[in-house]
Chains A and B, each alone.
Chain A
């Protein structure tokens, strides 16, 4: 097969893609195993949630355990869980009796709308601001952008939430304090969620541009008489924005983490809030299912980003 690879670069590329997909699938499997085993490590099991151990008889506890399949060896439990996963059954909330799938369906929309809004905000602002700061390096604009992004990076999101809620909701009354229901409820959470990643992304874009601006090819092009604008927009820009593709995956990961906090603060009924609640109430099935789902989102985002990068950078295609 190796000889076939040598003769057909396209085949080699396809093979690389398939390998990458398989690898992501492996990681996902491991993610599920880790989540599964991890949550099982908690002291006391679910039965103590449903039946008060001081009042239930051992037989009742044993019966419940059997009902829930908790008396089976752990790898059997996992395989059963996996089978269920593949059939679309993520388990059942032991508190509210909803299926995890329905939780995801209901809460998912909220999380997606919040996260997507924040994601768009981040990149729609970071790229122009970072580029402007880089192109006008040393000017007042550059200093302002760097300063503001620095403060944004430094302000923890919950602090920002507290400040904004106090100023814009409690004092000025322009926006609601928390909850959901209208686009107005989305504004504060989205701003708070996007702030710190936005600061970071802006800095990264700026640094990336400056690195490219000093590259030898830029000088070589000037020597040939290419105009500054061609050099800047056709060449420096494209090279500078390559790292931003990888940044996208990193930001997805950051946002997934931060939504947990932001949704809780604003009582935004998304997956993050449900997950935190389920952990606090020891609703294991929900916690497990949501954890795996969110981790899967990160894995998929990383995968997509790596494919986009391959498409953008010819050097990577032939590695």
Chain B
């Protein structure tokens, strides 16, 4: 597939969570449509309740949808079974937000990465050696393989989470608030890592965050979500300069800015 081809096509996706015991039903996704092309980053901005996390989960098939279509390279994402499901698992992976819970505290980094590497289509003959390479690719030394998660810092754990997602050689990585829980100084190095990996491997990202500045920086195209709907979509800088939707305008205005710019 050459750069720029459409990988993922989502049309009119909807999902409603049924209400329980007195709480009303909740529409998490409401007629969401989007496209993701190879090697590009699609940014999704939204606040709590916007449905962005639900969307992330639907894309990696952790949860289903009520109506609509989602196709990846011709495969029906929502109804995939068996060989199709395995194919999708190897093509679309996810990095989660919380570095504290993203890894089993009782298993070493090595075990966590092995678990992922085994799912790849062509596991390398020297699987242990490949683990070391995976670690180096995310900026960690191979000695850390035998450490437990609690012995690593938050930033280091997110690097491992990225390594784990990349272990199956996916074409798409869904990043669900993956830098939101980190300190600002660490955040930028993780973002740099993600950019570098994208350049090197030709990955496509679905980059989800509540932080408008981060999404703006990382994305080729951007979507703004609110209450399960897409309220604005387009080029990030365009949107920032000239927001059409009132909610987008409010969101932009809410970002504290002090006007400092680096050279």
Contact = CB atoms under 8 A, between A and B. Distances in A.
Task: Tell whether any CB of A sits under 8 Å from a CB of B in the complex.
Answer: yes
Nearest to A13: B22
B24 A16 contact: no
Interface in B6-25: 18-19, 21-25
B145 to A, nearest CB: 38
B21 A12 contact: yes
Nearest to B24: A6
Contacts of A13: 22
A5 to B, nearest CB: 5
Interface size class of B (residues with CB under 8 A): under 10
Nearest to B18: A2
A6 B21 contact: no
A52 interface: no
Nearest to B22: A12
A45 interface: no
Contacts of B19: 2, 5-6
Interface residues of A, number: 9
Contact of A318 (B18, B22, B24, B25): B22
Interface in A8-22: 9, 12-13, 16
Nearest to A19: B21
B169 to A, nearest CB: 44
Nearest to A11: B22
Interface in A32-52: none
B158 to A, nearest CB: 28
A13 B23 CA distance: 11
Nearest to B20: A319
Listed residue (B19, B21, B23, B24) with the most chain A CB atoms within 10 angstroms of its CB: B21
Nearest to B23: A6
A11 to B, nearest CB: 8
A101 B225 CA distance: 68
Contacts of A9: 22
Given A6-B23, A12-B21, A13-B22, 16 more contacts: A2-B18, A2-B19, A2-B25, A5-B19, A5-B21, A5-B22, A6-B19, A6-B22, A6-B24, A6-B25, A9-B22, A12-B22, A16-B21, A16-B22, A318-B22, A319-B21
19 contacts: A2-B18, A2-B19, A2-B25, A5-B19, A5-B21, A5-B22, A6-B19, A6-B22, A6-B23, A6-B24, A6-B25, A9-B22, A12-B21, A12-B22, A13-B22, A16-B21, A16-B22, A318-B22, A319-B21
4 closest Cβ contacts across the A-B interface? A12-B22, A6-B24, A5-B22, A9-B22
